Amino acid sequence: MEKLQVCINDKSLSREGEVALRFDHGQRESLLTQEIVSDGITSLHLNERLNSAEEIAKLTRTLLCSRQLRTLSVSYNNLGAKLGTLIEALSAGRLASAGLLPELRSLNLTGNALGDQTFAMLGAALANGALPRLSHLMVTGNRLTTIAPLVDAATCGPLGLEVLKCENNAVEDESIEAFVSAVRDGRFPKLHALWLGGNKLTDKGLQALALVVGEGAQIQTVSLSLNHFSHGGMEEFRERVGSSARLIW
């Protein structure tokens, strides 16, 4: 059996005592068992590693035993609908006394061909109380046309997201307008950074975002590059949000 590489990040260790377990790119059959998360592991990275329903099922069984994991990254696996197995378990885990992944802060699903239907399953899991401490959600580089599932989840109670990265998808203005409305209603009280570059936003979406970005507003960092804004629309946005916000074009 191949030896796994356990990486301890000194910076993280000095701040939070985190121990990270990383699987190298191309590494094959692994020890995806409860031993991974029962020995103090708080960060699990399986990037460019998973490629079968069997591996996802094995990972799900591992996570069902986890009570310390704070960071989970399964980016660039091109899993698509296969992620449904893991996401369904999130809702099921809510039935357990402590819930599934009760300490998870960061979830990275970047580059997985994630579609709206599977993303809606994640929203439903959050609405049911899964991942109660989730603060960083990364869904960049997928096939999303909407972030409505997060808005729907927040109607069941405020979500603690602080950073949402949803770049390089196909999100449109209508979805952003609903999201902005939810932010203004206090349903995302901790959100301070929003990454929306590489979507299908126009000046209409930009006008909506101006209501929650900048001086005196909640969101202080926003990425908007590679959308469909006019020069006039961008200039108006800059004027409205002021100089305090960090804008990434």
148: domain CATH number is 3.80.10.10
Domain housing 116: 1-139
Per-residue pLDDT of the chain (249 residues; tens, 9 = 90+): 333 333 333 333 323 444 455 554 444 444 444 344 445 678 888 777 676 777 777 777 777 667 788 998 989 988 888 888 878 777 665 544 456 678 899 999 999 999 999 999 999 989 988 899 999 999 999 999 999 999 999 999 999 999 999 999 999 999 999 999 999 999 999 999 999 999 999 999 999 999 999 888 899 999 999 999 999 999 999 999 988 899 998
Residues 88 and 172 occupy one common structural domain:
no
pLDDT of residue 35: 43
Cα distance between residue 142 and residue 122, in whole Å: 14
User: How long is the chain?
Assistant: 249
pTM, rounded to two decimals: 0.85
Nearest to 233 by CA among 200, 199, 203: 203
Residues 200 and 119 occupy one common structural domain:
no
pLDDT of residue 204: 97
Task: Map 78-128 to HEC letters.
Answer: CCHHHHHHHHHHHHHHCCCCCCCCCCCCEEECCCCCCCHHHHHHHHHHHHC
Residues 83 and 163 occupy one common structural domain:
no
Nearest to 209 by CA among 168, 166, 154, 159: 166
Residues 172 and 134 occupy one common structural domain:
no
The total number of structural domains that make up the chain: 2
Cα distance between residue 50 and residue 27, in whole Å: 10
Residues 49 and 155 occupy one common structural domain:
no
Answer whether 171's CB lies under 8 Å from 141's CB: no
| Complete edge-to-edge strand list for the sheet that includes strand 163-165 | 5-7, 20-22, 43-45, 71-73, 106-108, 136-138, 163-165, 193-195, 221-223, 246-248
